Chains A and B, each alone.
Chain A
Amino acid sequence: MTMEGEKRGERLFRAIGGVGGDLIDMAEKRMFRAGLWRRWLPVAACLALVAGMGLLTWRQIWSGQVPNGRDLASPAETAQEPAAAPEEPSAPASELPAQAENGGSGAMAAQVRQRLTVKGVVYYVEAVYGQLPSKERPGSWLGTVSKADDPDLVGADVYAASDTLRSGSRFTDMPLLILVEQPEGYRFCLTYYAWDGPLYTRQEAENLYTQGKWDALAAFALADTAFEDPDQLDSEALLRLFLQTLKLEELAGRRTGDLNRYLWEQVDEFVLAPSEVTRQLDRYLEGYTFDPSQCAAYDPARDALVLQTLEPEDWARPMARRIVLEGDTMIVETEDRTCTVRLTDSGCYYESIVEVE
């Protein structure tokens, strides 16, 4: 956007601030009726019921049995499940709430943390369970669950919960819909912020390059970071890189029942398991060594990194000036850095970020 355009946009933005208070109030309070199939995804209503409900295992809901009352796993506990063996799903991480006998309006739900593998990509998801009365499939088919913490989800179909979510795209913060078919309809679990794969696959990076979407590829060229080998990065630098690359919404388990608020709005500190940091770093780097005990924020009592904010220190968003794709290597040049990225079938990884004179 040009500077003149910037001024126009801001002027109009300010002018919009002067519209009638009744319109602003309407935009806050007015709700619109969901479309037919969306009425059976009562996300906000379901999540609002989580607090104070009892818990059930997925199997017990399936068979209609009574809950046994196990507690929901804490984020730290769940995140410490072996990152070294991501292909092996562990035992179900969490419990489910009691299923209401309400004729299948999908009102009962709970947040459950799961790891799912779909077409080779591991998703770390918050799942909400409910029931759809109809067999409508709202979005495109994305694949089947090949591995999951909850074995009852293995083999389940995964659909886009939005008709705008294109098949095969991992880069969406719209929910994925995982449907487990039953004679009377589908049981579904709705996932939020499903992310746990590489930043880009090789094909995605090549597509972005071909399409000239260099700003997206410039995400590789992080400011305030430089190294010739990932192993050179000390743990504080790795933590800083983690914060720079983190999208707050991706931090699993931080949503509340109100879609317009996030749990992290209510907390005074952020307690991060080391595995949450390394899971994020694994999307960008190979061959690094992260020792959380070397970080100032490390709390040995909780074996966690305790931060007052997830906002990193100010840094400038880089703009790509030149990108070269040569075989398995992509070179991203910004104003002050040259970043070398290795493209593999499993993802694209930084090899080096070098400051230029």
Chain B
Amino acid sequence: MEDREIVDLYWAREEQALEETQSKYGAYCWRIAHNILRSREDSEECVNDTWLRAWNAMPPQRPAILSSFLGCITRNLSLDRYKAGRTGKRGGGQLPLALEELDYCLPGTQNVEQAVEEAELAQSVDRFLRSLPEKDCCIFLRRYWYVDSVLEIACRYHMAEGTVKSSLHRTRERLRVWLEQEGVG
């Protein structure tokens, strides 16, 4: 079923919307959750919570790209759950590494109380990513949106690990400069 049709089901408050969403995007959302949580049970719960959030969000929302809309919900729920259950968690998968890598990109602020609105920061990052070559943009998002490991990215895009790491390093550096110039941080 096309995304548009699934969204129409949500708007019509048809429960079939949930079945279609699960069928089409269940594995996709589960993978996003699992990359962050590294727990089968927690990932399943996040995915179930995603469907509930989606049900409550549509209407009024009518996302053009349902996959990223759902994936974003799952991602945020997973991050919240990860933070809540962080103490004592085994390993933590790729997320702690990804956060550590990103730490460098956001300029250290001399005034820690001065916060930039998250939306403004997101828009700045969005503009930055659109300025990148497609490949670098995809690699960056696979790493920091999907929380794929470097290996998984290398295999997905038929690259050497070193190439992926170099791309990420270059992009992070460019992002840091970009955010400094935009006055973010």
Contacts and interface: CB of A to CB of B under 8 A. Distances in A.
A13 B102 contact: yes
A22 B137 CA distance: 12
Nearest to B157: A32
B40 interface: yes
Contacts of B40: 309, 311
Interface in A1-53: 1, 4-6, 8-28, 30-35, 38-39, 43-44
Interface residues of B, number: 70
Nearest to B146: A27
Interface of B is mostly: helix
B118 A11 contact: yes
Contacts of A59: none
A260 B156 contact: yes
B157 A8 contact: no
Interface in A200-237: none
Contacts of B118: 11, 14-15, 18
B100 A9 contact: yes
A54 to B, nearest CB: 27
A46 to B, nearest CB: 13
Interface stretch (A115-123, A314-322, A345-353): A314-322
A14 B155 CA distance: 26
Nearest to A31: B157
A164 B158 contact: no
A13 B144 contact: yes
Given A1-B100, A24-B68, A12 B90 contact: no
Contact of A1 (B30, B103, B146, B162): B103
User: In the complex, which range does the number of interface residues on chain A fall in?
Assistant: 35 or more
Contacts of A39: 158
Contacts of B126: 18-20, 23
A28 B121 contact: no
Contacts of A174: 151, 154, 161
B144 A164 contact: no
- In this complex, which of B64, B105, B106, B135 has the most chain A Cβ atoms within 10 angstroms of its Cβ? B106
- In this complex, which of B34, B68, B122, B159 has the most chain A Cβ atoms within 10 angstroms of its Cβ? B68
B18 to A, nearest CB: 20
Contacts of B105: 12
B145 A314 contact: no
B12 interface: no
B90 A311 contact: yes
Contacts of A35: 158-159
Contacts of B71: 24
Interface string A258-274: 01110001000000000
Contacts of B84: none
B1 interface: no
Given A15-B118, A18-B125, A163-B160, 5 more contacts: A13-B144, A18-B121, A21-B67, A24-B65, A311-B40
Interface of A: 1, 4-6, 8-28, 30-35, 38-39, 43-44, 162-165, 173-174, 244, 259-261, 265, 309, 311-312, 314-317
Which 3 residue pairs of A and B lie closest in terms of their CB atoms, listed nearest first?
A18-B122, A34-B158, A21-B68
